[in-house]
Structure 1
Amino acid sequence: MNALILAGSRGGVDPVAAYAGVAHKALIEIGGETLLARVARALHEAGRAPVAVSTGDAAVAAEARRLGCRVLQSASGPSASVAEALETLGAPLLVTTADHALLEAEWVRRFVADTPRDADVAVLLARRDLVEAALPGTRRTYLRFADGDWSGCNLFLLATLRAAGAIDLWRLVETDRKRPWRIVRRLGPTALLLYLMGRLTLGRAVERLGALSDVRAAAVASPAGLAAVDVDKPTDLDAVRGVLATRG
C-alpha cells in the first residue's frame, strides 16, 4: 500500500508557519523533528511504504527527499492533488496531511484493519467526547449527527481505483468543510430533513455520499481522540507541543 502526505499550500501567508517563524508549516520543528518528518515516520512504522509527498514548495520537497519519500507536484487543491496521486501511485492509497503532528503508527494500522473489505473509500473520524477528553479546551469543527458529534482525523483510505469517483465530490465538500449542513444538503431533501431532525447517523450520511459518486464509502470510528488534532492554527501548535512534552 502506498501512502500520500499532502503538503501543499492554500496560498498567502500561513498563520501557523508565520507563528513558528518558518516558510512552510510542514517545516515546523518539534523536538528537532519537522512535522513532515513526524508524519512520514509514523507512516513508515505502520508499514505504509513507499511514502509520497505532494507539495509545490522546494524546501518541503528537499525535506521529503531527505526522508526517503517520493515527491509529487501538488495540484490546485487537496482533492486535485489526491486525484493525481491516485492516478500515479494506484490503489490502495492511504492519504494524510503534513500537519498531522500527533499521528501514530497504531492509528494507521487500526484504521486500515477496521475499514470494511468491500469499501472503495473510507474516512477516519473521532467522537467529540473522545477528542475533548484527550485534549481539553481544543476547538475543532464537528459534524453533528444522531449518533454523536464527529471530527475528521485527516486520514483517508482510497482502497480501490473506483475511489476516484469520490474525489469530484471531495472538491465540493472542501468548499463547505466549515458548514456541515451544506454538505448534508447535497444528500437530497430526505437526508437534509433527517439531519435537521437529528435522526441522520454519520454512517448513513457517508454511505449516501458514496452512493452519489457510485462508490462504497465507509466512516471508521477512531478510538483515539488525539487522532482528530492537527496543526490548523497557532493554538493547535502550542497544544501539540504540550502533548509531546508530556510524553517526554
Structure 2
Amino acid sequence: MTLADPAALILAGSRGGEDPVARYAGVTDKALIPIGTDTMLARVTAALRNAGIERIGVSANSPAVRTEAARLGTEPLPAAAGPSASTADALALLGAPLLVTTGDHALLDPTWVNDFIARVPADADVAVLLARRDAIERAAPGSKRTYLRFADGDWSGCNLFYLATPQASQVIALWQSVERDRKRPWRIVRRLGPALLLRYLLGRLSLSQAVAHLGRTAGVTAAVVAATDGLAAVDVDKPADLDFVRARLG
C-alpha cells in the first residue's frame, strides 16, 4: 500500500490512580519504566523512527511523561478522557494517515510497523493488527492475553492501529464503546447484531467478517491484518509482562 508519509501517535496517558506495573518497577508512570538503559517510551519512539516515521505525538497527562516526550523530540499532546478520545484529538491535529500505538509496547519492532502498513488494503479507512493465539504461544509461551474466538482462530490485539483516511474518525465512537468492554469480549461480539451473533455462536464467523461488519456500522471500510510475529501482541499490562520483556531483551 503506497500512502503519504504517516504520522504516529503514542498513547501514554494514565487511567487514574497508581499503576501497579509502575509501582512494581519503582517509577511514577508506566511509560517511564526502564528497559535496559532506555525508558519504555524511548524504546517505542525509537522503533517508530527506525520505521521511517518522523512526526510523532505522545498523548500523556503526566508532567513527567510529557517531559520525557519532549526530551525525545516528540510532540507532547494532552491526554483526553480515554485512548479513543485522545486518538480523536490527535487525528484532528496530526491528520491521516496516522499510526497509533501505546507507550507500553516495549517490544515494538520497526519491521512490524512497516509490514503492517504495507499490508493495509488499499481501500481501507482503518486497519488493526491482530495476532493468532498459536503465533503468540510460539513466540511468548506462558504469556496471558485476552482473546476473541472466531471461526478462523483465537485472536489478540497488538496495540497497532492504522487510520488511513480522515473517515477513520467515524470509527472512534465505536472504539469508545469497545474500549469500555475490552476485558469482556462477549459484549464486543454482541454489537454484531442477531444474524452475525448467531453465526459467531455457531463458530461460523471469521474475524475479518466481524471487523468488516463493525466498520460498516461505523460508516467506514475496516480491515484486519494478521501479525507475522506473535510477539507483537505482548505489551506491558502486568508485572509478569515486564519480567518477560526484560528477560527477552536481556
- Bin for the TM-score computed over the shorter chain: over 0.9
- Are positions 1:115 and 2:154 aligned together? no
Which of these residues, 177, 189, 214, is aligned with residue 209 of structure 1? 214
Q: 1:57 corresponds to which residue?
A: 62
Q: What's the offset of the Cα at 1:176? A: 1.0
Structure 1's consecutive aligned runs of 4 or more residues displaced over 2 angstroms after TM superposition are none
- Are positions 1:86 and 2:62 aligned together? no
Q: What's the offset of the Cα at 1:109? A: 0.1
- Are positions 1:74 and 2:79 aligned together? yes
Q: 2:111 corresponds to which residue?
A: 106
Which of these residues, 39, 50, 72, is aligned with residue 34 of structure 1? 39
Unpaired runs of 5+ in structure 1? none
Q: What's the offset of the Cα at 1:3? A: 0.3
Measured in 1, the distance between the counterparts of 2:140 and 2:220 equals 34
Measured in 2, the distance between the counterparts of 1:49 and 1:189 equals 44
Which of these residues, 15, 18, 24, is aligned with residue 23 of structure 2? 18
Q: What's the offset of the Cα at 1:179? A: 1.5
Q: What's the offset of the Cα at 1:191? A: 1.0
Summarize deviations over 1:77-96 as a string: whole Å, max 9, x none: 00000000001111000000
Measured in 1, the distance between the counterparts of 2:29 and 2:193 equals 39
Q: 2:189 corresponds to which residue?
A: 184
Aligned-partner SS, 1:194:
helix
Unpaired runs of 5+ in structure 2? 1-5
Measured in 2, the distance between the counterparts of 1:86 and 1:46 equals 20
TM-score, normalised to structure 1, is: 0.98
| C-alpha RMSD over aligned residues | 0.5
Q: 1:227 corresponds to which residue?
A: 232
For 1:92, give the aligned amino acid: P
For 1:3, give the aligned amino acid: A
TM-score, normalised to structure 2, is: 0.97
For 2:53, give the aligned amino acid: R
Measured in 2, the distance between the counterparts of 1:108 and 1:49 equals 13
For 1:42, give the aligned amino acid: A
Q: 2:147 corresponds to which residue?
A: 142
Please identify, of 117-126 and 182-191, the stretch whose mean Cα deviation from structure 2 is larger.
Answer: 182-191
Q: What's the offset of the Cα at 1:178? A: 1.3
After TM superposition, the structure 1 = structure 2 runs for residues 122-161 of structure 1, keeping only pairs within 5 Å, are 122-161=127-166
Summarize deviations over 1:25-71 as a string: whole Å, max 9, x none: 00000111000000000000001111110001111011111111011
Aligned sequence identity (%): 65
Summarize deviations over 1:132-181 as a string: whole Å, max 9, x none: 11111110001100000001000000000000000000000011111112
Measured in 2, the distance between the counterparts of 1:241 and 1:132 equals 18
Q: 1:48 corresponds to which residue?
A: 53
